[in-house]
Amino acid sequence: MDMTAATDVEEVRAMLTEQREQRRGARRVARTPRGPVSSALRAAWRRTAAVAAGLAVLALGAGLAAPAHAAERATCELREGIELRDAIGNVFTKALYCDNLPSDVYARADFASPVTGWLKLSPSWFPCYTTGPADTQGNKTWYYTQGDQVGSMPKIKAWGVVPTEAVRLPAGTTQPFPGLPRCPWF
């Protein structure tokens, strides 16, 4: 929190404390080094503090809600020399790093399988692929990943597969993504 936000919070707290005391029947006159403050000036301070606090909340909320690449086109690249370890001990040294859409993460490449988690944030890592039923766009490739939130199988920590439609691949990219290994257990 920066100093401006801290000051705004302090002003709002002071305003709320003053209102509470007024409701209790306590009569106080705010004072500055130059003397009493008029009720009109005090009301203006309150409005300013309330507006500033509201703007700070909106700015903070907008910063948290906006995805990292909201203004850019979808990015997708194959990265090597990394180390990803899933919940069952598999180690991956290559992965696709792509923007993605929110999605259910499935235990198997099947829409009827248990939901192990949810992808909520973007971008995500996809270390391998498998095949399964076609998604709504006709793609049969599914990408292995770890969800951002754990679902029905907490022991595997949201690891599972998502259909291709959840991965924002560049237009014209062949399926599966070139150079990405097939998952060894599928």
pLDDT given at position 70: 38
Greatest alpha-carbon span in the chain: 79
Percent of the chain with pLDDT over 90: 54
Asked if pLDDT for residue 50 goes beyond 90, the answer is no
**Mean pLDDT throughout 134-157?**
94
* Cβ atoms within 10 Å, residue 9: 15
**Mean pLDDT throughout 34-48?**
57
> Which range (42-46, 126-130, 159-163) has the least confidence?
42-46
Identify the bridge partners of residue 130 per DSSP, sorted by sequence position: 142
> For the purposes of burial, counting CB atoms within 10 Å of the CB of 177, is it exposed (0-12), middle (13-18) or buried (19 or more)?
buried
What six digits make up the tokens of 102?
Answer: 């929110």
Amino acid at 91: V
Q: Rounded to an integer, what distance in angstroms lies between the CA atom of residue 74 and that of residue 59? A: 24
